[in-house]
Amino acid sequence: MIEIIGLEKTFVQPGGERVIALRGVDLLIKSGEFVTVIGMNGSGKSTLLNAVAGTFLPDAGTIRIGNIDVTRQPEFQRAALIGRVFQDPFKGTCPSMSVAENLRMAELRGVRRGLRVGLSHSSLERYHALLSGLKMRLEGRLQASMGTLSGGQRQAVTLLMATLRRPQLLLLDEHTAALDPRAADQIINITNQVVREHALTTLMVTHSMEQALEQGDRTIMMHRGEVLADLSGTEREGLNAGDLLQRFTELRYTIEFAVAKPPGG
């Protein structure tokens, strides 16, 4: 269970301009739930994800993962509970190190690292099997340096790394946005495969309406740092991208009208 209560964040730009990124976001995610987040650029969807990951500390509010209050925990500390895949395929792996070394580092996420050469024969066999399961012809490239892999291959490995040690929460930040359509499809398939296999609690940010509705069991729509709509169950079933867009336009109009109304607000 993930609890996000009253989360607020304001960024101050170098010029002194204040940008409100999150204005009191409340969100409860049940264990094993796969939530997709949609919204326009600047709606706060990625900010929400980064706040949960701990990239910055929020101005107000509480974040609980399981029963642990992580609101004030530094990023590296709460990483023990969180698996992450970034939008940028370069961001999730170390380019100069081998695929096997990257996997070994991820296997120790949140665990005390000792002075032991951890890459054993048995772990290499295990990684080989896991890579074979991805069906991206990665199994033969365990010793290749990560930098020689394609973007799709990197995201596949990053996804594997994020779930190698089962996380309490999986954060996916538009992780297919930088890939070509074929690779994006492959990564989405792998995502579904690993999430279902381990029944992972997942928060996935996407800018594709189709993806938001097709994947997962619940969709959050964000706008101007607030949750605009929260669709799940029967309400979400049967909706297509067009319906969603129309719904979004209506809601946005209502809100903006309401915000604009109070004088001096």
Partner 1 sequence: MRRLRQAVRFVPLALIAACGTKKDSARSIIGYAQVSSVAALDEARDGFFKALADSGYVRDSSITVLERNAQGDIPTLSLIMSDFIQQGVTQVATVSSVATQAALKAITDRPIIFGAVANPYIIGAGTSPTNHRPNVTGAEIPLPVDSAVMLAHEAFPEVKEWGTLFDPADPFAEFYLEKAKAGAAAAGVRFVTVACTGPGDIASGIQALKAQGANGVVQIPSVMIGGAFSAVVKSTRQADMPLVATSTSFGGAPIALGLSFYANGYSMGLLMIRVLRGENPATIPFQAERRRRLVIDLNAAREYGVTIPATIVSRADSVIGGTGASVTSTVGARITNQQPVRRGNNPFGFWLVAVTQGLAYAALAWGVYLASRTLHFADITPDGSFTLGAAVAASLIVGGTDPLLATFVAVLAGMVAGYVTGVLHTRLGIKDLLAGILVMTALYSVNLHVMGKSNVSLLDVGTLVRDVHRIIPASVTWSDDLSLGVLFFAITIVLGLILAWYLRTDFGMAMRAVGDNPAMITAQGVDRRRMIELGLALANGLVAFSGALIAQQQGFADVGMGVGTLVAGMAAVIMGETLLFKRRGLGMTITMVAAGAILFRGMVSLALRLGLNPIDLKLITAVFVLAALALPKLRYSRASGSASR
Residues that bind partner 1 (CB under 8 A): 53, 74-77, 79-80, 82, 84, 86, 90-97, 101, 104-106, 108-111, 113-119, 145, 147, 161
Please state the closest distance from residue 46 (CB atom) to partner 1, in A. Answer: 14
- Smallest distance from partner 1 to CB 240, Å: 35
Residue 226 vs residues 4, 18, 24, 45: alpha-carbon distances, Å: 12, 17, 7, 9
Instruction: Find how far residue 208's CA is from the centre of its chain.
Output: 14
Considering the complex, state which of residue 148 and residue 249 has its C-beta at the smaller distance from partner 1.
Answer: 148
Nearer to partner 1, 47 or 219 (CB): 47
Paired strand residues for 205: 37, 173
| Spatial separation of the C-alpha atoms in residues 142 and 132, rounded to whole Å | 11
State in angstroms the smallest separation of the CB of 165 from partner 1.
9
Contact 60, 211 (CB under 8 A): no
Nearer to partner 1, 8 or 88 (CB): 88
| H or E segment to which residue 257 belongs | helix 241-260
| Closer of 33 and 101 to partner 1 (Cβ) | 101
Cα distances from 4 to residues 22, 25, 100, 237, in angstroms, run 12, 7, 35, 25
Nearer to partner 1 by C-beta: 127 or 248? 127
What is the distance between the alpha carbons of residues 73 and 51, in angstroms, rounded to a whole number?
11
Least distance (Å) from partner 1 to the CB of residue 82?
8
Smallest gap from Cβ 230 to partner 1, in A, equals 27
